[in-house]
Amino acid sequence: MTDKYAVIGNPIGHTKSPLIHMTFAEQTGQDIEYTAIEGSLGGFREAAEAFRAAGGCGMNVTAPFKLDAFAYATDLTEQAQLAGAVNALKFADGKVYAQNFDGIGLTRDIVHNLGYPMRGKRVLLLGAGGAARGAMLPFLKEKPAQLVLVNRTVSKAKELFEQFSPYAGDTDFSFCAYPELGDLSVQFDMVINATSASLRGELPPVHTGVFKPGCLAYELAYGKGLTPFLRLAQGAGAQKLADGVGMLVEQAAEAFEWWRSVRPETAPMIATLTVPLV
């Protein structure tokens, strides 16, 4: 029998999830159906219940429903609990299991696909919103030498710092405001833009001195080409520029494996969806 999965969001017309998951299914020989659902604002629970009643096995969750999915779940993983948001659900045994694979997918793209291990490196994370929150635990598990969280609103960065400090281990974990970056006198091996600035064609207020020559500059937004952030990094001598297409595909692969117990190959899909950084 064909198992049913879906992605829910609003708007949802732009989603790549059906293409990604149906390609994964063909590649791994899985008999699934995968659709996109545009949920009404405030109507997440009703849409999820209707999908479950129709035999749905699991859902991906995108904006603006990740907090709704968090509240809807009956069983949250530690990663989902700490992220405070959910991007994947699994329905089984009358329960709603929930996970957040965004930060896991991001970390896997950086470490495995791009070949930039975090262990022992200096990492700068720009932003303290939902994307940064989801990345905290996976990043700290990689044991970087230093992880600095910077945000316009320092109180938000402090909140994340206080929440995740117990997981820092030997990592030199800290936070600051953008103007204080110069006081650190540190260049970073990886600079990751988890702000929404690039979605508006804007540049986060970061200076060129944070980029260590030969570093990785990673833009979570994808399909935007050479964003102002990536252009700044390029001019500062970054060796590798990357956008979030690998994160998109890797988090989908994590959900697919969680649902189907088989790991798809991600490289072909990443290549299919990649937009040149020009």
Distance CA 80, CA 78 (A): 5
Residue 233 host element (H or E): helix 228-235
The alpha carbon of 63 is separated from its chain's Cα centroid by a whole number of angstroms, namely: 12
Listed in order, strand segments (DSSP E) in the chain are 3-9, 32-38, 56-61, 75-76, 88-92, 95-99, 122-126, 146-150, 172-176, 188-193, 211-219, 240-243
Distance CA 201, CA 194 (A): 14
Residue 93, number of CB atoms within 10 A of its CB: 7
Residue 119, number of CB atoms within 10 A of its CB: 10
**Residue in 66, 90, 121, 212 annotated catalytic:** 66
- Within 8 A by CB and 6+ apart from 136, the residues are 82, 83, 103, 160, 163, 164, 167
Any idea which residue has 């700490």 for tokens? 82
Phi/psi at 80 (5° precision): -65, -40
Write out the DSSP string of 88-101.
Answer: EEEEETTEEEEE--
Identity of residue 48: A
Question: Do the Cβ atoms of 140 and 129 come closer than 8 Å?
Answer: no
Q: Is 212 a catalytic residue?
A: no
Question: Do the Cβ atoms of 194 and 131 come closer than 8 Å?
Answer: yes
Catalytic residues: 66
